[in-house]
């Protein structure tokens, strides 16, 4: 069934990038044809750049996503952005429940689920992030934690078309550390089994599960070849087009 899942390599730029950074998008777009049909490419710049990037990428195979949204469509929420606004700016997807938002903004699974629903309401795909902390892994609680996050963060109605799961061990983000391939396989297989229990085998077979956390060109091939890994959510290495493309090259 894996052949039916088109891998998705997405760059999460986090709070990085100014107008001039469009040069990196241009470089990715220039190479995009080589990847078409093998792997989907997405760039998620900060919200200030979503409209500019989406306009530039229009008609190219590069999708533009956002990094977070509010659960409401509009209202008195100073500083927040709705999924509708991101869609209006040209985004096709939004990351929700990234560990940095769960940690720094105290987002709960229920809030993440509400944001995923907001994404769907606006016509966006939701990229839902899950992953354990170092302490949780050391305590042997990885699957318990990830299972709880998957259960709590994925809305009813999840399909392969409207949702992607990103497994991002918190301790692997920005640290240069990565789990063993056996650990990645265990987590991804577990997540797919949980999805199958709740949404049925067809949804589980089709839904993409990205790995995220210190993915770089030098380790991408190994990580992307692990069973049940359907692409990557890339942080730091996505800021340079050469590195981002180097990671996606795992699928060429
Ligand atoms: P790094 O690739 O910088 O470890 O970040 C991963 C991540 O958090 C992507 O969402």
Contacts (Cβ under 8 Å, ≥6 apart) of 227: 2, 185, 188, 189
Q: Which atom of ligand 1 is nearest to the CA of 98?
A: 10
**Encoded tokens for 239:** 């800021």
In DSSP terms, which residues pair with 232 in a beta bridge? 9, 211
Probe residue for ligand 1, chosen from 97, 167, 213 as the CB with the greatest number of ligand atoms within 8 Å: 213
Say yes or no: CB of residue 170 within 6 Å of ligand 1.
no
Domain for residue 105, yes or no?
Answer: yes
Residue 200 lies in a domain: yes
N residues, the chain: 252
pLDDT digits (tens, 9 = 90+) for 47-96: 999 999 999 999 999 999 999 999 999 999 999 999 999 999 999 999 99
Is residue 131 within 8 Å of residue 146, measured between CB atoms?
Answer: yes
Residue identified by tokens 């777009």 is: 29
72 lies in some domain: no
| DSSP β-ladder status, 208-212 and 163-167 | parallel
Query: Rounded to whole angstroms, how far apart are CA atoms 67 and 124?
Result: 12
Assigned domain for 198 exists? yes
Domain that holds residue 26: 8-31+38-48+84-240
Q: Which two tokens stand for residue 243?
A: 């590195």
Number of structural domains in the chain: 1
pLDDT, tens digit, for every residue of 109-149? 999 999 999 999 999 999 999 999 999 999 999 999 999 99
Question: What is the pLDDT at residue 4?
Answer: 78
Q: What is the pTM of this model?
A: 0.98
193 lies in some domain? yes
Q: Is residue 139 in some structural domain?
A: yes
Tens digits of per-residue pLDDT, 5-52? 999 999 999 999 999 999 999 999 999 999 999 999 999 999 999 999
Is 252 inside any structural domain?
no
Q: Please list, in sequence order, all residues whose beta carbon lies within 8 angstroms of the beta carbon of residue 220, skipping any fewer than 6 positions away.
A: 232, 246, 247, 248, 249, 250
CATH number at residue 151: 3.20.20.70
Give the span between the Cα atoms of 201 and 223, in whole angstroms.
24
CA 168 to ligand 1 centroid distance, Å: 8
Q: Could you tell me if residue 67 is inside a domain?
A: no
233 Cβ closer than 6 Å to some ligand 1 atom: yes
Q: What is the arithmetic mean of pLDDT over 181-209?
A: 98
- Per-residue pLDDT at 2: 44
Q: How far is CA 141 from CA 80, 131, 137, 138, 198, in A?
A: 33, 11, 6, 7, 21
Residue that the structure tokens 């949404």 belong to: 199
Burial pattern 229-249, b for ≥16 Cβ within 10 A else e, equals bbbbbbbbbbbebebbbbbbb
């Amino acid at each position: 069934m894996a052949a039916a899942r088109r891998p998705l390599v997405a760059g999460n730029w986090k709070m990085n990038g100014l107008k001039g950074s469009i040069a990196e998008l241009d470089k990715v777009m220039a190479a995009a044809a080589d990847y078409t049909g093998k792997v989907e490419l997405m760039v998620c710049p900060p919200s200030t750049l979503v409209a500019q990037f989406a306009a530039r990428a229009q008609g190219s195979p590069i999708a533009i996503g956002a990094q977070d949204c509010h659960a409401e469509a509009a209202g008195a929420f100073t500083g927040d952005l709705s999924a509708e606004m991101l869609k209006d700016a040209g985004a096709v997807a939004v990351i929700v429940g990234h560990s940095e938002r769960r940690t720094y903004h105290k987002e709960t699974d229920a809030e993440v689920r509400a944001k995923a629903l907001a994404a769907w309401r606006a016509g966006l795909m939701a990229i839902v992030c899950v992953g354990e902390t170092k302490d949780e892994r050391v305590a042997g609680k990885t699957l318990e934690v990830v299972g709880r996050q998957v259960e709590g963060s994925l809305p009813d109605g999840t399909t392969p078309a409207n949702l992607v799961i990103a497994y991002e061990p918190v301790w692997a983000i920005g640290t240069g550390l990565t789990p063993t391939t056996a650990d990645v396989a265990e987590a991804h297989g577990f997540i797919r089994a949980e999805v199958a229990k709740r949404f049925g085998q067809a949804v589980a077979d089709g839904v993409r599960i990205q790995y995220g956390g210190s993915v770089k060109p030098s380790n991408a091939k190994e990580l992307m070849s692990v069973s049940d890994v359907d692409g990557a959510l890339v942080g730091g290495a996505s800021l340079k087009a050469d590195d981002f493309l180097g990671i996606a090259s795992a699928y060429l």
